[in-house]
Amino acid sequence: MPRPRWKPTPHQLMILQDLYKKGLTNPNSCQVQMITANLSMYGKIQWKNVFYWFQNHKARDRQKMRKQIFQQMQKYTNADENPPSPSPSPSPSAAVNYQLYPNSPTIFLHQVEATDASPQMMKYLWENCMMRTNGRDWILMKDDGSSAHCSNNRPIRTLELFPVATTGFKD
Amino acid sequence: MPRPRWKPTPHQLMILQDLYKKGLTNPNSCQVQMITANLSMYGKIQWKNVFYWFQNHKARDRQKMRKQIFQQMQKYTNADENPPSPSPSPSPSAAVNYQLYPNSPTIFLHQVEATDASPQMMKYLWENCMMRTNGRDWILMKDDGSSAHCSNNRPIRTLELFPVATTGFKD
DNA sequence: GCAAATTAATGATTTATTCAAG
DNA sequence: CTTGAATAAATCATTAATTTGC
């Protein structure tokens, strides 16, 4: 009865993590679409899977960071014995400077360099998304994961722009 | 430079409010799509406009309610003079029972009856969405509002199912 | 009256929390 | 316990009301 959840293949996961590490933490819908298209070569995947992955990854990264900071603070406040440093007070309160709502500016792709996510993908993302950053499309996919062409006069072509040759990766 | 915001026409607004009042406070994506299709007869509109409208409307409804409750509490605590009722204490703390995360169950459409949003719409929503409540689609539209057919083998037909005759409403 | 200045509404986004599968 | 999925809350940003000084 319950629909099975999507589970990224190792290769898909690696690409996602790589993109994230390279600075793409908040992809717009166009970028999500491109990523989805690329990753779909390695297994069934939908737009929303990618979308949620970035949402969750960012949130939990942040969570982890907060937790660390909290632990640091506790360490400093609890341990009355030799606070590790007498240098100009890297005080606990400094840690609170962690910015909660940075209103993150659009991440530009030149922050993202060559990656497992193929240079072609980077090129495509740059040329087709960032160059018209104002014209964000909303791109749709059917829930069953079928490739759901979204034709608005001329269809949006995506997959054929990515390398089709095998990468030697096993899923 | 800034893209203009969508503004519901009076008729669109009336339909939205009507649906909301009738109990449809949390439409799923399929329902949003159907509503969008219907409303697009009365003016340019996109999927996300409808989606956001319900999100915001619900949130601000809730906000208003909380505010009222707060004011009630203040009234009771500040005014030492004759608390209006001696009945089994409709105490302020009772108000706090307001459920923050009700994990709202899917609103079923039979809660929604004949409405300004045309019986056809209701029928369609029921037959095409609720009957396969597990198969929520993600439906997409281009950001420019163009009608962006989403063809997955057979195209999704929507508009022609709604009445096209004028309703006598002025936008 | 009537604009410039403030404030209230509300559309659009992002972040935080919660639910639930595995 | 981890993490995909979904909803709620917080925030940003633009437009409409409204106020204010002339």
CA distance B3 to chain A (A): 8
Q: Contacts of residue A47 in chain B, CB cutoff 8 Å?
A: 138, 140
Of B136, B139, B144, the CB nearest to A140: B139
pLDDT recorded at residue B55: 92
CB contact under 8 A, A143 and B150: no
Predicted pLDDT of residue B60: 93
Alpha-carbon span A51 to A33, nearest angstrom: 9
Give A-chain residues touching B46 at CB under 8 angstroms.
138
Give the per-residue pLDDT at B6. Answer: 93
Radius of gyration of chain A (CA): 20
How many whole angstroms separate alpha carbon B139 and alpha carbon A49? 14
pLDDT tens track, chain A, 171 positions: 555 788 898 888 988 888 887 777 877 666 777 777 778 888 888 777 888 898 889 888 888 777 666 666 555 555 444 443 333 333 332 223 333 333 333 223 333 333 455 555 555 554 444 433 223 333 333 333 322 222 222 223 232 222 222 232 333
C-alpha to C-alpha distance for B45 and B39, rounded to whole angstroms: 7
User: How far B142 CA lies from chain A's nearest CA (Å)?
Assistant: 5
For the stretch B43-80, pLDDT in tens is 888 878 888 999 999 999 988 887 777 666 666 655 54
pTM of the model: 0.50
Residue B40, CB, strand C, below 7 Å = no
Which stretches of chain B drop beneath a pLDDT of 70? 1-3, 29, 70-171
A116 touches chain B (CB under 8 A): no
Task: For residues B54 and A74, give the distance between their C-alpha atoms in angstroms, rounded to a whole number.
Answer: 42
Give the whole-angstrom CA distance, residue A122 versus residue B38: 38
Q: What is the rounded CA–CA span in Å between residue B90 and residue B96?
A: 11
> For position A124, what pLDDT does the model report?
55
Quick one: pLDDT at residue A109?
Answer: 30
Contacts of B137 in chain A (CB under 8 A): 140, 142-143
The answer to whether A152 faces chain B, any CB pair under 8 Å, is yes
The per-residue pLDDT for B97 is 31
- pLDDT score of B9: 93
A135 touches chain B (CB under 8 A): yes
pLDDT of residue A14: 87
Which pLDDT does position B10 carry in this prediction? Answer: 92
Note which residues in 40-99 of chain B have CB less than 8 A from chain A: 46-48
Evaluate if the CB of B104 falls below 7 Å from strand C.
no
Which residue spans within chain A are E strands per DSSP?
149-152, 154-155
Minimal C-alpha gap between B43 and chain A (Å): 19
CA–CA separation, A39 vs A42, rounded Å?
6
The enclosing H or E element of A15 equals: helix A10-21
- pLDDT for res B129: 46
Token output for B46: 């996109």
